[in-house]
Amino acid sequence: MISVMNKDSQRRKIHPHKFTMWVAIGSIVMMFAGLTSAYIVKRNQPGWTGFSMPIIFWYSTAVLLLSSLTMQFSLKAFNQRETAKYRNLLTVTSVLGLLFIAMQIIGFSQLWSTGVQMRGSGAAQFMYIIFGLHALHVLGGVIALLAMFFKAWNPRVRSYNPVPVEVLGTYWHFVDLLWIYLFVFILYIQ
C-alpha cells in the first residue's frame, strides 16, 4: 500500500527542471507585464509619438509561429522515438529561430534608418527595450535549440530522456506567445 502511494505521488510531482522553467516563465511574464504597464502609463504624456511597424516584423511573426509548430512536431517525433524525423524537425526549428533573429535585426535596422531611434519618442524607446529584451530571450532559446541540435546529431549520444526536449519546447512556445502579445500590444496600443 505504501509503495503504491509513493509511486503515485512521484508520478504527480513535476520534474525539477520543468518547475524551474515555469518559475522562470512566471518571472519573465511579470517583467514584461511591468514594461507594458509602464508603456500604457507613459503614452499619455506630452510629446509621445508613434511609428509605423516595418512589414518584416509581420513576416518574422509568421516564421516564429512556424518554428513553434516544428518544435511541437519534433517533440512528438522524439516521444515516438522517430530519431531521423526528430533531428530534421529540430534542425528546421533551429534554422527558423535563426531566421527570426535575422529578420528582427533587419526590422530594427529599417526602423533606425527611418529615424525611429532610442533618443526619439517614448514609443520608440519602449519598443527597443521591450523587443530587445524579447530578442535576448529568443537568443537564449536559439542557443538551447542549437545545443539540442548538436546533441541530437551526435552519434555517441543515445539518450531518450524527454525532459530536456519538453522543457525546450515549453520555453520555445512561450517566447512565441510572448512575441505575439508584444507585437500586437505595440502595434495597437501606441
Residue 120: band (very low, low, confident or very high) from pLDDT cuts 50, 70, 90: low
Asked if pLDDT for residue 170 goes beyond 80, the answer is: yes
Domain extent, residue 31, equals 2-189
How many domains does the chain divide into? 1
Query: Whole-number mean pLDDT of the chain?
Result: 88
Asked if pLDDT for residue 106 goes beyond 80, the answer is: yes
pLDDT of the residue at 90:
95
What's the rounded mean pLDDT across residues 28-52?
87
Asked if pLDDT for residue 171 goes beyond 60, the answer is: yes
Spell out the long-range contacts of 150-156 with Cβ–Cβ below 8 A and sequence spacing 24 or more.
152/83, 152/86, 152/87, 152/90, 153/87
What cell does 88 get?
530534421
Residue 1: band (very low, low, confident or very high) from pLDDT cuts 50, 70, 90: low
Nearest CA among 50, 52, 67 for reference residue 101:
67
Asked if pLDDT for residue 35 goes beyond 60, the answer is: yes
Dihedral in degrees, nearest 10, Cα atoms 160, 161, 163, 167: -50
Asked if pLDDT for residue 43 goes beyond 90, the answer is: no
Give the CA distances from residue 125 to residues 108, 150, 179, in Å, rounded to whole numbers and listed in that order: 12, 37, 17
pLDDT of the residue at 181:
94
pLDDT of the residue at 123:
77
Please tell me the distance from the alpha carbon of residue 116 to that of residue 142, in angstroms, as a whole number.
27
Helix (H, G, I), strand (E, B) or coil at 118: coil
**C-alpha 117 chain-centroid distance:** 24
pLDDT of the residue at 175:
96
pLDDT in tens, 128-167: 888 889 999 999 999 999 999 998 888 887 777 889 999 9
pLDDT in tens, 59-94: 999 999 999 999 999 999 999 999 999 999 999 999
Nearest CA among 169, 101, 139, 133 for reference residue 32:
133
pLDDT of the residue at 27:
96
Asked if pLDDT for residue 19 goes beyond 70, the answer is: yes
Assign residue 116 the CATH number of its domain: 1.20.120.80
